[in-house]
Amino acid sequence: MWTRIQWLATTMTIVIGIQGGALTARVAEPIAPEGQNADEQQTEGPGYCWDEYVKEAVAAYDEWDDCHDSRSWYDIVASVTCDLVYEARAIGAAAWWAKCVGMPGRTDA
């Protein structure tokens, strides 16, 4: 049992790290439509940020739904894993959106 918990923790750490890296990469290199550079798109307003946030939020929900559909009804560990991965992706997406629209962070730690 302990080996399964260690495997689960390792897998979750890897998945969360990959998702965090993907979200950070999106902030660093935004994708702009043809004929428009990334700097111009960022100054247009929060529409771009919202569109990207919605894409990530929907992808996270779809992954969560698929995860729950593929598990056995009695596998509680798989259910908790699905929920934790979804929670991490949802929080990451919301944090990325806040950074994209320029919400100030706490500077008085």
pLDDT at 98: 86
Q: What distances in angstroms separate CA 67 from CA 4, 11, 13, 33, 35, one per listed residue?
A: 18, 14, 17, 33, 39
Q: Which of 86, 95, 65 is nearest to 12 (CA)?
A: 86
pLDDT at 63: 93
pLDDT at 37: 54
Positions of the chain with pLDDT lower than 70, given as ranges: 1-46, 105-109
pLDDT at 34: 56
Look up residue 70 and give its two tokens: 């593929």
pLDDT at 13: 64
pLDDT at 56: 93
pLDDT at 18: 63
